[in-house]
Structure 1
Amino acid sequence: MPRYEYRCKTCGSTFELRRPMSQSSAPASCPSGHDDTVKLLSTVAVGGSAASAPAPVSGGGGCCGGGCCG
């Protein structure tokens, strides 16, 4: 189940809720009980060795292996 991050406009606290995607736009109350909250945009961090590996080098060149560009 995805987690969504919210910020309370009344007290300024930031909190997360786990809820189904179908309820992602539903109102959320902060842990202090305030109802004036907004859903924040979340960033997704992707890690692993593939993210830092160099891109493979192709043998040709140009747009489709060297055959159509020149």
Structure 2
Amino acid sequence: MPRYEYRCRSCGDTFELSRPMAESAAPATCPVGHDDTVKLLSTVAVGGSAKPSPAPPAAGGGCCGGGRCG
């Protein structure tokens, strides 16, 4: 279940809630009990290392690349 981060406008507390995506925009009450909260935009961190894709072969090279099959 996704976690969403909210901030209370009354006390300034930031908190997280686990809730279904369909309820992500539903009102949230802060842990102190205030109802004036706003959902914060989250940044997504992706770990790992990506390797660049190999370059496609140059045009005209290889079988049928230059139009001379046969």
Pairwise TM-score range, normalised by the shorter structure: 0.7 to 0.9
The answer to whether the aligner puts 1:58 opposite 2:56 as a matched pair is: yes
Partner SS state of residue 49, structure 1: coil
State the Cα RMSD in Å: 1.9
TM-score (norm 2): 0.74
- Counterparts of residues 1-70 of structure 1 (less than 5 Å): 1-50=1-50, 53-60=51-58
Structure 1 length as normaliser, TM-score? Answer: 0.74
Q: How many residues align?
A: 61
Larger Rg: 2
Name the CA distance, whole Å, in 2 between partners of 1:28 and 1:47. 30
Partner deviation per Cα, 1:17-49 (whole Å, 9 max, x = no partner) = 000011111100011111000001111011102
Q: Percent identity?
A: 73
Distance in 1 between residues matched to 2:18 and 2:55, nearest whole Å:
42
Equivalents in 2 of 1:45, 1:20: separation in Å?
20
Structure 1, unpaired ranges of 5+: 62-66
Name the one with the larger helix percent.
1
Moved over 3 A (4+): none
